[in-house]
């Protein structure tokens, strides 16, 4: 792929400065000295040079010190230095976000799309069109894209988190089996793309910016239409040898239970997944047509909604108890649309977890709802794009 205009012939110290700003966000010159190991004079000289080239700008006047000599002098990468794109493909929606290299989200939109019912090609065409529209709306084009990361609600194998990542052969997203979505999007948009599992991206975002901050070992659960999961140890994902680690939604609770789309029987997802909850509420209270409404119903005190949310929490807690015994994490973060039910979900989940885990394993464990809501996955995609932009080119 051709070099992007956002890094015009940068080598040596200027390149290291731009990398430090891209990875860490806005920084003072003193912080840049620390991060790059360059001397103060070198940093000052090259920052001025980068400002002259329009790639770096001093941050807002509000960041300056009110009195005395030079301002605190936060500097940041400008829009001209490039943008990154994050895409979260859910089973029923697509969310696209654009951030500049100073870590600011400059554009974001979410649209309903029946992803699970459409052919992969049709979804990827729609995603490509959305990405172009969102770039245009922020005054950018594909030529400005330093990197793009796309999350999918299915396990990815043979090179998860790479351009070659391939969707696992399964019925979880049947029309996508064996496809390489990152390569397909790169072909459509001519930008560097990598693909990863959506829960992996959500987990990274919660650990970096959300409810997982400060944790050493987080188990992240995405409770949405389905139930996905991911494990983050010391800031990095534990993927397992095939890239499927954390798929707790397909732990079987009942070997004689109903048949799941994955081919097993009695999977957790069949009792605690959003689709199952909506199917259950349909008979009792048909006015709750989607998950958001069901969660709102629970929060407003509807007993049927509350019961469903609580029972989902109990099922998930049972499975997590086994996981906590095995892995001994210090935090469980429950994200996805159902995570928005807060304590109505978390309390029964915690009770079931404590009952099924040995006390020593659960002793230093905190179970908390995600704090990034439906944006966790797309923010994780942006975080990975910012981190990996250089490797992607
Ligand atoms: Zn299953």
Q: Tens of pLDDT along 1-26?
A: 343 445 556 888 998 999 899 888 89
Residue 263 alpha carbon to ligand 1 centre in Å: 6
Residue 244 alpha carbon to ligand 1 centre in Å: 13
Per-residue pLDDT for 140 more than 90? yes
Q: Note whether 21 and 56 are within 8 A (CB).
A: yes
Question: At 195, is the secondary structure helix, strand, or coil?
Answer: strand
Residue 81 alpha carbon to ligand 1 centre in Å: 44
Multiple choice CATH, 82-200+376-392, 3.50.50.60, 3.40.50.150, 3.30.460.10, 3.30.420.40: 3.30.420.40
**Continuous H helices in 139-273:** 181-189, 198-209, 268-272
**Continuous H helices in 146-197:** 181-189
Residues 334, 341: Cα–Cα separation, whole Å: 10
Side-chain-side CA neighbours of residue 236 (13 Å): 3
Residues 142, 140: Cα–Cα separation, whole Å: 7
Cα diameter, the chain: 74
Residue 132 alpha carbon to ligand 1 centre in Å: 35
Residues 106, 133: Cα–Cα separation, whole Å: 13
Q: Note whether 140 and 85 are within 8 A (CB).
A: no
Residue 207 alpha carbon to ligand 1 centre in Å: 27
Cβ partners under 8 Å of residue 226, min gap 6: 91, 153, 172, 249, 269, 273, 274, 275
- What local confidence, expressed as pLDDT, does residue 72 receive? 66
Residues 17, 29: Cα–Cα separation, whole Å: 10
Residue 386 alpha carbon to ligand 1 centre in Å: 33
138: tokens are 């922020």
Residue 43 alpha carbon to ligand 1 centre in Å: 54
Q: Note whether 173 and 152 are within 8 A (CB).
A: yes
Mean pLDDT, residues 141-147: 93
Residue 168 alpha carbon to ligand 1 centre in Å: 14
Q: Answer whether CATH 3.40.50.11540 is correct for domain 7-80.
A: no
- What local confidence, expressed as pLDDT, does residue 159 receive? 67
Question: At 297, is the secondary structure helix, strand, or coil?
Answer: helix
Residues 393, 388: Cα–Cα separation, whole Å: 9
Residues with CB under 5 A from ligand 1 (ion): 250, 260, 262, 264, 267
Residue 374 alpha carbon to ligand 1 centre in Å: 23
Per-residue pLDDT for 379 more than 70? yes
pTM recorded for the entire structure: 0.86
Residue 224 alpha carbon to ligand 1 centre in Å: 15
CATH number of 212-371: 3.30.420.40
Residue 262 alpha carbon to ligand 1 centre in Å: 4
Alpha-carbon Rg for the chain in angstroms: 22
Residue 288 alpha carbon to ligand 1 centre in Å: 25
Residue 23 alpha carbon to ligand 1 centre in Å: 37
**CA-based nearest residue to 199, from 148, 166, 161:** 161
Residues 346, 325: Cα–Cα separation, whole Å: 19
Confidence of residue 65 (pLDDT cuts 50, 70, 90): very low
What does the mean pLDDT of the chain come to? 90
Confidence of residue 265 (pLDDT cuts 50, 70, 90): very high
Q: Note whether 329 and 296 are within 8 A (CB).
A: no
Mean pLDDT, residues 68-97: 85
Residue 319 alpha carbon to ligand 1 centre in Å: 13
Per-residue pLDDT for 169 more than 90? no
382: tokens are 């942006």
- Residue ranges, comma separated, of all CATH 3.30.420.40 domains in the chain are 82-200+376-392, 212-371
Per-residue pLDDT for 80 more than 50? yes
**Continuous H helices in the chain:** 12-24, 29-36, 40-52, 120-137, 181-189, 198-209, 268-272, 274-284, 291-299, 303-327, 343-356, 359-362, 376-392
Residue 227 alpha carbon to ligand 1 centre in Å: 10
Residue 312 alpha carbon to ligand 1 centre in Å: 15
Residue 276 alpha carbon to ligand 1 centre in Å: 12
In tens, the pLDDT along 222-258 reads 999 889 999 999 999 998 887 788 989 999 999 999 9
Integer angstrom CA distances of residue 247 from 94, 146, 198, 370 = 21, 31, 11, 18
Residue 295 alpha carbon to ligand 1 centre in Å: 23
93: tokens are 């929606």
Per-residue pLDDT for 91 more than 90? no
Confidence of residue 68 (pLDDT cuts 50, 70, 90): very low
Question: How many other β-carbons are positioned within 10 Å of the β-carbon of residue 253?
Answer: 16
41-73 burial: b if 16+ Cβ within 10 Å, else e: ebbeebbeebeeeebbbbbeeeeeeeeeeeeeb
Residue 261 alpha carbon to ligand 1 centre in Å: 6
Per-residue pLDDT for 69 more than 50? no
**CA-based nearest residue to 276, from 309, 298, 299:** 309
- What local confidence, expressed as pLDDT, does residue 67 receive? 46
Side-chain-side CA neighbours of residue 324 (13 Å): 30
Per-residue pLDDT for 63 more than 50? no
Residue 268 alpha carbon to ligand 1 centre in Å: 7
230: tokens are 């991911």
Q: Which of 27-31, 62-66, 180-184, 216-220 has the lowest mean pLDDT?
A: 62-66
Residue 171 alpha carbon to ligand 1 centre in Å: 9
Beta-bridge mates of residue 88: 95, 151
Residue 165 alpha carbon to ligand 1 centre in Å: 22
98: tokens are 């654009």
């Amino acid at each position: 792929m051709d070099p992007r205009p956002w890094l015009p012939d940068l080598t040596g110290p200027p390149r290291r400065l731009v990398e430090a700003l891209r990875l860490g966000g806005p920084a003072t010159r003193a912080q840049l000295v620390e991060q790059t190991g360059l001397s103060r004079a070198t940093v000052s000289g090259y920052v001025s040079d980068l400002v002259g080239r329009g790639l770096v700008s001093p941050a807002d006047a509000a960041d300056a010190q009110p009195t005395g000599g030079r301002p605190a002098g936060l500097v940041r990468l400008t829009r001209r230095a490039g943008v990154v794109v994050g895409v979260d493909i859910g089973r029923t929606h697509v969310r696209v976000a654009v951030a500049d290299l100073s870590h600011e989200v400059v554009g974001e939109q979410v649209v309903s799309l029946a992803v699970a019912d459409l052919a992969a090609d049709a979804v990827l065409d729609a995603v490509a069109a959305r990405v172009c529209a969102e770039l245009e709306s922020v005054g950018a084009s594909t030529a400005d894209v330093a990197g793009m990361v796309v999350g999918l609600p299915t396990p990815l194998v043979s090179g998860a988190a790479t351009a070659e990542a391939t969707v696992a052969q399964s019925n979880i997203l049947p029309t996508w089996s064996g496809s390489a979505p990152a390569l397909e999007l790169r072909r459509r948009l001519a930008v560097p793309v990598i693909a990863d599992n959506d829960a992996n991206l959500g987990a990274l975002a919660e650990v970096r910016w959300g409810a997982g901050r400060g944790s050493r070992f987080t188990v992240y659960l995405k409770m949405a239409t389905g139930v996905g999961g991911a494990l983050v140890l010391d800031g990095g994902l534990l993927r397992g040898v095939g890239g499927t680690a954390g798929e707790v939604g397909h732990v079987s609770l009942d070997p004689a239970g109903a048949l799941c789309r994955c081919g097993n029987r009695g999977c957790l997802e069949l009792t605690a997944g959003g689709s199952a909850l909506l199917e259950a509420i349909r008979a009792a209270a048909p006015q709750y047509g989607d998950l958001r409404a069901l969660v709102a119903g629970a929060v407003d005190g509807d007993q049927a909604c509350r019961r469903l949310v609580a029972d989902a929490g109990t099922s998930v807690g049972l499975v997590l108890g086994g996981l906590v015994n095995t892995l001994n994490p210090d935090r469980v973060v429950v994200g996805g649309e159902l995570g928005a039910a807060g304590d109505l979900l978390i309390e029964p989940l915690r009770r079931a977890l404590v009952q099924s885990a040995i006390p020593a394993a659960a002793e230093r464990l905190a179970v908390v709802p995600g704090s990034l809501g439906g944006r966790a996955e797309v923010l994780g995609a942006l975080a990975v794009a910012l981190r990996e932009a250089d490797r992607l080119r």
